[in-house]
């Protein structure tokens, strides 16, 4: 089993992708430092899995978070043709 600690930006993406309902952030100031705590409520096991989509064009490779929302739809629900129509250059903005 692999473990990783997500960055602040990745945690924000997780919260935003779930409308800040299932996963949420609380902010505190402790001894003059800004501290964010990420927590969850009403989560199901699927909420804790990360689906990685790997794409290759010519010699370039990118990996996308399949749960990232684009045009109100997660990448994991797009067909290969739809991903090609979005374009490799645009998709590379979402690489992980």
pLDDT digits (tens, 9 = 90+) for 25-54: 999 999 999 999 999 988 888 777 778 888
Say whether both 42 and 1 belong to one domain.
yes
The total of structural domains in the chain comes to 2
d(CA 96, CA 93): 9
26 in Cβ contact with 36 (< 8 Å): yes
Say whether both 3 and 35 belong to one domain.
yes
Say whether both 15 and 54 belong to one domain.
no
d(CA 85, CA 20): 30
d(CA 72, CA 53): 18
What pLDDT score was predicted for residue 34?
96
Say whether both 82 and 95 belong to one domain.
yes
Asked whether residue 96 carries a pLDDT value surpassing 80, the answer given is no
Instruction: Pick the last residue of a domain from 48, 68, 83.
Output: 48
pLDDT band at 1 (very low <50, low <70, confident <90, very high): low
Say whether both 37 and 68 belong to one domain.
no
68 in Cβ contact with 94 (< 8 Å): yes
Q: For the chain, report the end-to-end CA distance as a whole number of angstroms.
A: 19
Alpha-carbon separation of residue 5 from 11, 75, 79, 87, 89 (angstroms) = 10, 22, 30, 30, 27
Say whether both 55 and 44 belong to one domain.
no
What pLDDT score was predicted for residue 38?
95
- Could you list the residue range(s) of the whole structural domain that residue 88 is in? 50-96
What pLDDT score was predicted for residue 69?
82
Asked whether residue 65 carries a pLDDT value surpassing 70, the answer given is yes
Asked whether residue 61 carries a pLDDT value surpassing 70, the answer given is yes
Average predicted confidence (pLDDT) for the chain? 87
């Amino acid at each position: 089993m692999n473990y990783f600690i997500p960055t602040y930006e990745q945690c924000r993406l997780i919260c935003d992708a779930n409308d800040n309902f299932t996963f949420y952030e609380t902010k505190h100031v402790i001894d003059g430092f800004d501290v964010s705590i990420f927590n969850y409520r009403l989560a199901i096991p699927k909420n804790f899995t990360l689906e990685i989509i790997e794409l290759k064009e010519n010699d370039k490779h990118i990996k996308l978070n399949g749960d990232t929302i684009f045009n109100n739809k997660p990448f994991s629900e797009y067909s290969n043709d739809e991903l090609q129509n979005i374009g490799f250059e645009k998709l590379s903005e979402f690489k992980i």
